[in-house]
Structure 1
Amino acid sequence: MIDWNRVAELRHEIGADDFAEVVDMFLEEADEVAATMAANITPDAVESALHFLKGSALNLGFRELAQLCQIGEKAASLGDVGGVNLAQVVAVYERSKSAFTAGKARYAA
């Protein structure tokens, strides 16, 4: 679910001091997108929301979420917004966030 090698790479790239800030910013922005998806996203906004989540997920190592977003983004770009399971995207985001939060302590030092 989480690519911990990518997490370590990101921490190394930006430094330990900025790592927590980047993580907090990602999670805050992703929480907003996930909430919009769960509540009231318009069909026209699905593709861009999935694109945003995919990019953020790739940067932070949320591998499963990135893959799911890529599939949904492609479907939405082809006009099949109804075929995108947004509830599943939100659920995978929440599981990924929980797994990340539980495991990130190893990168705090």
Structure 2
Amino acid sequence: MIVAQVSDIHAAPGNDNMSRLARAVSWLAEVKPDAVVASGDLIDEGWIEGYAEIGSRLNELNCPVLVVPGNSDNRHALSSAFTNRHGQVDNCEAVHFRAEFGTIRLWD
């Protein structure tokens, strides 16, 4: 089983981090991970629209994406943008995940 992690994307309209994410996703597509954990600081500068773009890009990998926010993320907006993310735990204000893949358990 291959679990990949992308972290600290810090995407914003004023930087090229979405193109960097595109390169990472392209490389990961060749690796074919069984799951991807996207952790912490997905956006910067309050760029809420970036969550949808990041989600779209990560969905290209055709595997479960587990998301946990960082300190620069808006948890409510992140939860709204990633409504179909695998392993979502809904009964709390925080954003967490818990997922099982065969004998592997992942949680934040």
* TM-score after normalising by structure 1: 0.30
Structure with larger Rg: 1
Report 1 or 2 for greater relative contact order, CA contacts < 8 Å, sequence distance ≥ 6: 1
Bigger fraction of residues in strand: 2
Bigger fraction of residues in helix: 1
